[in-house]
Structure 1
Amino acid sequence: APLPGQSREGKMPSAGLEAGSNKVDVAIDLGNPLLNRTVDGFLKIGAVGACRVAAEDAFDCLQSGSVSKHKLEKTLEKMCKEGAYWGAVAGVYVGMEYGVERVRGEYDWKNALIGGIASGALISAASNNKGNKIAKDAITGGAIATAIEFINYLT
């Protein structure tokens, strides 16, 4: 991640796979920094959401001592749903934060705060929440995004 005040314009969505000394990298350039970052957030966090489901379901299968075609199909279905949901949340947040950065013309923690608030409110409203629930989700989104920004700055 760039330091405060540095530009992040050239970032493209990318993924890598490494096994031993062999490494494969894939980068996608959609021709627009906003789209690049949004897709990057979707892919990275979506993969984390899908892997979480896979790990939990694998643990459940190990504990129960049984695996079936039906369980595998359900796990795959849950992986897709969770991956798409968390990927969409990440994509919205990354897009919002980048938009705020572009409007303000600065790269600092305030972009994370504003992007988190806007994302929390938007996602909450899209989930058919009303009034106070949207406000709580906006505050939560802003707090989480700001805390992560500060943690990233410290490391």
Structure 2
Amino acid sequence: MGSRFYLFMILFHVLASLHAQPRLRLAIGLYSGITYGLQEARGAHDWKNSVVAGALTGAALVLTCKDASHEQVIHCAITGVALSTAVNLLTGPHLV
């Protein structure tokens, strides 16, 4: 397992101990799980896993709302991709 997985799991436990919002815990758990699952399935730890995990997490979060429209799902999926790409660039192997 990569260091990013451990980072998100530590963040998940810290936020859970502070009684964070359920949606935030859902996002962290989904993102970590999807990223790890893709890493194991593909056999590669790269930016593509983060992009897919960000898109799926963003779409899943908006679907927890009562009146989620198609546009909101697409918007949140794109936002998830942008956030996960930013995290990937800021914590990439070139900075370690």
TM-score norm. by structure 1 comes to 0.50
Kindly provide the amino acid, as one letter, of the partner of residue 78 in structure 2.
I
**Cα gap change, 1:94 to 1:133, in 2 (>3 Å):** same
* Residue of structure 2 equivalent to 1:98: 36
User: Does the 8 A contact of 1:110 with 1:146 survive in 2?
Assistant: no
Q: How does 1:1-155 map to 2 (within 5 A)?
A: 7-8=1-2, 40-47=10-17, 50=18, 80=19, 82-128=20-66, 129-153=68-92, 154-155=94-95
Name the CA shift for 1:43/1:83 in 2 (closer, same or farther; >3 Å). farther
Percentage of identical aligned residues: 24
Please tell me whether Structure 1 or Structure 2 has the larger radius of gyration of its CA atoms.
1
Measure how far apart 1:146 and its partner are: 1.1
Distance 1:137 1:91 in 2: 17
The amino acid across from 1:43 in the alignment is H
Count of residue correspondences: 92
Query: Gaps spanning 5+ residues in structure 1: where?
Result: 1-6, 14-36, 51-79
SS in 1 for 2:63: helix
Q: Which has the higher contact order (CA 8 A, sep 6+)?
A: 2
Partner Cα separation in structure 1 for residue 85 and residue 28 of structure 2: 14
1 CA distance for matches of 2:35 and 2:24?
16
Identify, as 1 or 2, the structure richer in strand: 1
Change beyond 3 A, Cα 1:121–1:85: closer
Deviation at 1:12?
A: 6.6
Q: Distance in 2 between matches of 1:12 and 1:140?
A: 23
